């Protein structure tokens, strides 16, 4: 118990013991002296002498303790904190030895240790940098592989939390809910099919092949098909699994549409065909039928024929609309399409020049390359002049033109070539099938200067530099999540927890008097790593004017929040972002007070555990130090750009960086679990009324 006290408390207790023991000795000595004299007349004098002596000794001891505390204990504690900071962070500045001026060579010795540590760390950093560069290269390769995989890949822990997700998985699921490391899979996908597939694999054992999975997103908007495979482990029931998914919603819808169309074909042609057959049979069976009766049958035959023709026309239009729904499409750069054509024509006699705009074409690039190659070869057979192939923008699509000088290409010849099966593994699918699947065709024409031209339009294309609505972010992974031991949150190591570090900007400092949030921002920390790809930031409409004095601090005025969501909406999104995480803030009670007073409007309670960097700072550096965010950042070498200070995201980032630097320092002092952190924080709660 005594060893757990701080140095200053232990020294105080030591001096208190000296004062108590000295007072006891004085009282005992005077009592013995009085007993030897043996007269009651002197007892009052002995009592007064004892009291004066005890008070004098206590005062002298307190004075010496104050001097010792101010000039020895406090400087030693300050030096220890400074050494701890430099041992666990990249702070390299010299230690201020002025507070330790009465400690002899201790201050300069600590400074020398710091300098030696900086030199050693520099040498170590160079070695680490070399190894980091090698690992970074492997990471880049892995990211490239994951980025090019055309299915969503999720690596999940045994308790169904995400440890890896690639770009395609993010695109598939980000509209359903929050997707990121250490987030619950079942917030995104229906639980039943996943649990069923995993149970099948567990029953089959480690040698089991992948289990097929067909599931829907939680909102039911998408149907996903894929496969699941367990990760190798001695205890399969406690291991994670890999889940690959692709969106089959459009495939199923296209198949259903084709089935409906096929059913409609039979329904709409059966009756007219039967009526026509019956009418023809009636006419054949009655060659001597009267003129009036024969005319009625002929009119009926004409009507049924028109109905059948109309049905065939409408069904043909519907079939054309669904023709390409099953064909695999992707975004292909126009330059890549031209390169493919040139590669297939390499070494041939055809003289072909090319030009393309920076476009991404929605098509089957290889099939189109084969179709264009067929057209080029057909033209080259009849003309000896150079050919020119161009791809340019045309509205929301693109046009592919093959231009030459000379005689026109007989379309019968091109049609015959396009009717042949495509090469390259397309089975019996022909060039004509490929064109039909794209909803397009090739037709002849002339350029403005009279040259011959074959034109192939495409319906979907966009500029290569344009922002894509499904822009991808880097793949996320942390394989250490797979080895994280289960257990109650409060007993887990601080370095293994998931945190959301947040900050708010407000109209004022008094939520109980109507002040409101105007901005909220947060960052996630998973397994001791700040997740730059996962950030939350939102302006909030406060429902009241923002005072000029508050705008002067955070720069947010009424015009900036005019179209911002209210706290009920922004708070609900923030609550989802924080799910299952430990909240971290600087002076957390202030920010939490604003959030908790709106829990009813948000529709959720903030029951997450909360850590406060003010209290953690006091635990590490003592209550007598300054614990503002600026002071803490300066102490830990955290740079806060002036433009970012007093913005929710800027302060949240500074708090997160400081918190990460404090984690190893807390571990060194024996604060390793969440319950340890709560226990130590409670000792310094009085600081929260004075820190901003």
As a whole number of Å, the CA-based R_g of the chain is: 40
Q: In what order do the strands lie in the sheet with 330-333?
A: 330-333, 359-363, 461-463
Which position has the token pair 């966009």? 462
List the beta strands (DSSP E) in 287-337: 330-333
Burial (CB count within 10 angstroms: exposed 0-12, middle 13-18, buried 19+), residue 476? buried
By C-alpha distance, which of 93, 74, 73 is closest to 83? 93
In angstroms, the CA 248 to CA 507 distance is 48
In angstroms, the CA 354 to CA 4 distance is 79
Q: Which two tokens stand for residue 353?
A: 């020049």
CA end-to-end span of the chain, whole Å?
33
- Per DSSP, the residues of 200-257 read HHHHH-TT--PEEEEEEBTTS--EEEEEEEEPP-SSGGGS-EEEEEEE-HHHHHHHHH
- In the structure, how many helices (H) and strands (E) does the chain have? 20, 19
Phi/psi of residue 485, each to 5°? -70, 145
H-state helical runs in 103-148? 106-148
For the question of residue 541 being annotated catalytic, the response is no
By C-alpha distance, which of 217, 268, 275 is closest to 247? 217
User: Could you tell me if 668 and 88 are in contact, meaning their C-beta atoms sit under 8 angstroms apart?
Assistant: yes
**CA atoms lying within 13 Å on the CB side of residue 420:** 11
User: Could you tell me if 522 and 577 are in contact, meaning their C-beta atoms sit under 8 angstroms apart?
Assistant: yes
Which position has the token pair 């495509």? 422
User: What size, in residues, is the chain?
Assistant: 692
- Per DSSP, the residues of 638-691 read ----TTTTTSHHHHHHHHHHHHHHHHHHHHHTT--BHHHHHHHHGGGGGGGGT-
Q: Which of 541, 586, 627, 646 is catalytic?
A: 646
β-pairing, 223-230 with 162-165?
unpaired
Burial (CB count within 10 angstroms: exposed 0-12, middle 13-18, buried 19+), residue 432? middle
Identify the helix (H) or strand (E) that includes residue 457.
strand 452-458
In angstroms, the CA 494 to CA 478 distance is 16
Give catalytic residues, as residue numbers: 646
């Amino acid at each position: 118990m005594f060893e757990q006290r701080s140095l200053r408390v232990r020294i105080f207790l030591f001096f208190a013991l000296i004062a108590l023991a000295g007072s006891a000795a004085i009282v005992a000595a005077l009592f013995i002296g009085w007993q030897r004299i043996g007269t009651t007349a002197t007892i009052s004098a002995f009592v007064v002498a004892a009291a004066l002596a005890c008070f004098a000794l206590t005062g002298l001891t307190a004075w010496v303790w104050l001097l010792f505390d101010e000039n020895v204990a406090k400087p030693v504690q300050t030096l220890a904190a400074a050494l701890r900071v430099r041992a666990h962070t990249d702070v390299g500045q010299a230690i201020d030895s002025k507070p330790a001026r009465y400690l002899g060579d201790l201050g300069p010795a600590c400074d020398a240790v710091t300098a030696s540590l900086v030199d050693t760390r520099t040498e170590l950093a160079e070695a680490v940098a070399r190894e980091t560069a090698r690992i970074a290269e492997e990471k880049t390769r892995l990211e490239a592989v994951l980025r090019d995989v055309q299915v969503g890949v999720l690596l999940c822990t045994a308790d169904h939390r995400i440890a890896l997700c690639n770009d395609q998985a993010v695109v598939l699921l980000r509209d359903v809910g929050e997707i990121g490391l250490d987030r619950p899979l079942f917030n995104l996908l229906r639980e039943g099919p996943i649990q069923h597939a995993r149970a099948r694999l567990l029953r089959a054992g480690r040698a089991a092949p992948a289990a097929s999975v067909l599931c829907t997103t939680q909102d039911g908007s998408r149907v996903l098909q894929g496969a699941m495979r367990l990760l190798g482990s001695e205890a399969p029931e406690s291991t994670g699994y890999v889940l690959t998914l692709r969106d089959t919603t459009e495939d199923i819808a296209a198949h259903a549409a084709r089935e409906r169309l096929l059913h409609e074909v039979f329904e709409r042609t059966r009756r007219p065909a039967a009526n026509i057959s019956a009418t023809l049979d009636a006419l054949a069976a009655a060659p001597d039928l009267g003129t009036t009766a024969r005319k009625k049958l002929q009119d009926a035959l004409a009507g049924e024929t028109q109905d059948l023709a109309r049905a065939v026309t409408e069904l043909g239009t519907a079939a054309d609309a669904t023709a390409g729904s099953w064909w695999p499409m992707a975004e292909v750069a126009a330059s890549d399409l031209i390169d493919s054509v040139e590669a297939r024509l390499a070494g041939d006699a055809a003289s072909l020049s090319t030009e393309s705009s920076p476009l991404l074409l929605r098509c089957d690039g290889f099939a189109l390359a084969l179709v264009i190659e067929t057209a080029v070869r057909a033209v080259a057979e009849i003309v000896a002049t150079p050919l020119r192939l161009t791809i340019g923008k045309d509205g929301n699509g693109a046009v592919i033109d093959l231009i030459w000088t000379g005689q026109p290409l007989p379309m019968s010849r091109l049609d015959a070539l396009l009717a042949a099966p495509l090469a390259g593994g397309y089975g019996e699918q022909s060039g004509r099938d490929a064109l039909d699947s794209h909803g397009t065709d090739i037709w002849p024409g002339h350029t403005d200067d009279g040259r011959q031209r074959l034109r192939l339009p495409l319906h979907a294309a966009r500029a290569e530099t344009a922002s894509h609505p499904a822009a991808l972010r880097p793949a996320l992974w942390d394989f250490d999540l797979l080895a994280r031991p289960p257990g109650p949150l409060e007993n887990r190591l601080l370095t293994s927890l998931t945190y959301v570090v947040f900050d708010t900007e407000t109209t004022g400092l008094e939520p109980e008097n109507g002040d409101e949030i105007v901005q909220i921002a947060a960052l996630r920390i998973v397994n001791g790593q700040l997740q730059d790809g996962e950030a939350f930031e939102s302006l909030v409409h406060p429902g009241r004017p923002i005072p000029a004095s508050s705008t002067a601090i955070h720069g947010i005025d009424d015009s900036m929040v005019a179209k911002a969501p209210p706290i009920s909406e922004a708070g609900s999104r923030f609550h989802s972002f924080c799910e299952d995480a430990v909240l971290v803030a600087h002076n957390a009670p202030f920010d939490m007070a604003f959030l908790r007073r709106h829990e009813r409007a948000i529709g959720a309670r903030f029951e997450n555990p909360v850590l406060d960097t003010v209290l953690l700072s006091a635990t590490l550096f003592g209550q007598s130090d300054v614990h503002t965010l600026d002071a803490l950042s300066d102490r830990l070498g955290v740079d806060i750009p002036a433009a970012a200070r007093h913005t929710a995201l800027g302060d949240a980032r500074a708090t997160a960086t400081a918190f990460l630097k404090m984690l190893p320092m807390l571990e060194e002092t024996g604060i390793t679990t969440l319950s340890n952190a709560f226990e130590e924080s409670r000792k310094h709660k009085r600081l929260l009324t004075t820190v901003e």
